[in-house]
Amino acid sequence: MTTMTEASVREFKMPDVGEGLTEAEILKWYVQPGDMVTDGQVVCEVETAKAAVELPIPYDGVVRDLHFPEGTTVDVGTAIISVDVGGGSAAPAPAAERPAAAEPAEEPKAAGSGRQPVLVGYGVATSSTRRRPRKGPEVPVRQASPAIQTELNGHAPAAPAAAAPAIPAAPAGTQRPLAKPPVRKLAKDLGVDLTTVVPTGPDGVITREDVHAAVASAVPAVPEPSAASAPAAAQAPVSYDTARETRIPVKGVRKATAAAMVGSAFTAPHVTEFVTVDVTRTMKLVEELKADKEFAGLRVNPLLLIAKALLVAIRRNPDVNASWDEAAQEIVVKHYVNLGIAAATPRGLIVPNIKDAHAKTLPQLAESLGDLVATARDGKTSPAAMQGGTVTITNVGVFGVDTGTPILNPGESAILAVGAIKPQPWVHKGKVKPRQVTTLALSFDHRLVDGQLGSKVLADVAAILEQPKRLITWA
């Protein structure tokens, strides 16, 4: 991820941390132009869509220039800092020279400079950030200027007659256009043939805007008034009262969360079921475990037993622990459980998971839960800790909320929401008594989990929390 701009100056590029991310925001610079740096020294902290990570420099030298200020979002593969490795002090490069590192002519040199150290050791090669290539000739979308691309999508005034056939001239009909399922459904509902749509998304992916643009271009153009009003509307500034409103840029974890939730909500058909359960015996067991020497120094709370209850329920109903493979049209049943725990952090909601939670004893699970919560609270959760989850628990009860309808974490089949545990009147042994009661909500993907299976999983969790001894008899 480095290039040579001069004999002794190297450009350090924004690396891919190995999770397929395309951009990161520079949170903080730890060095300034003129500072000495050594191989492996952390030079900056960046926030990706999944976590905040520190980036080490892979060589010794003197910082020549920082190409971007703090708070800037930079694409992966873009040079962010230049270092003079010749041993001498170098003055910061003039602003006019900075774009040179991003020129295509430099790419062959970047390939020869080796692999970029990321978090531990040396990470992925430069080409690892690219997605699978499209089959057949590519439509040169990226080379088009914004004005030309706008005209192609049907937003600009009518172009000369010779320009119209340029769109269907691309051999898109010989391949399946790249588009997400919601976009395909939108195109079908609107009667749009995706092979005639010019994509503007990354790597030639067709977006919802492209479909709407194709519909707009098919509508007969209104004479002069329409053409005149379009530029006026585009130039109209968005005004708001800064004293009464605050606008916060959507980026980082919030941007990733928004995209994931929209994708999940409109891809997986959600079903949510609820059950209210008496957890008085579970609460008594929690107090007993706190006094047990096997749990000395460990965090013991209701979430620990709820997590164990869910793991036992999955063991009794293994088909719920699966995912939907759209491309292969297969249901992938997982023979392991990576248990996700939704955690609210200052940077937003993240869902790290406990790897192979199904194989852990109760003390081991308590230790893993404690480490997960502490790491998330400190903002040090790694991207790897948030990958590969199979099912998730979200504890909305900590906010005093009774229940909710949680949205699935993308790629997972179920998520359990735990409500607040409160003393409520409850019929116990034929008499109304105050008991500790909570409400559980299980959302699941109805493509692979039918009502019977989802109901059995939720009923098993409730039965275990009502009678914790089932952790032994059922396990």
Where in the sequence numbering do the catalytic residues fall?
446
Q: Look up tokens 């320009």; give the residue.
A: 163
Rounded-to-integer distance, Cα 444 and Cα 455, Å: 10
Rounded-to-integer distance, Cα 45 and Cα 28, Å: 5
Instruction: Count CB atoms within 10 A of the CB of residue 63.
Output: 23
Rounded-to-integer distance, Cα 32 and Cα 11, Å: 15
Residues with Cβ within 8 Å of 352's Cβ and at least 6 positions away in sequence, in order, are 340, 341, 343, 372, 375, 376, 381, 385, 386
Structure tokens at 57: 């420099």
162 CB-contact burial (10 Å; exposed 0-12 / middle 13-18 / buried 19+): exposed
Under 8 Å between Cβ of 409 and 385: no
Rounded-to-integer distance, Cα 369 and Cα 133, Å: 40
Under 8 Å between Cβ of 417 and 440: yes
Q: What are phi and psi of 335, to 5 degrees?
A: -95, 20
CA 98 to the chain's CA centroid: 31
Instruction: Count CB atoms within 10 A of the CB of residue 16.
Output: 24
Rounded-to-integer distance, Cα 87 and Cα 62, Å: 7
Residues with Cβ within 8 Å of 169's Cβ and at least 6 positions away in sequence, in order, are none
Rounded-to-integer distance, Cα 302 and Cα 288, Å: 12
Rounded-to-integer distance, Cα 125 and Cα 115, Å: 5
Q: Look up tokens 């900056």; give the residue.
A: 44
Instruction: Count CB atoms within 10 A of the CB of residue 8.
Output: 16
Under 8 Å between Cβ of 458 and 440: yes
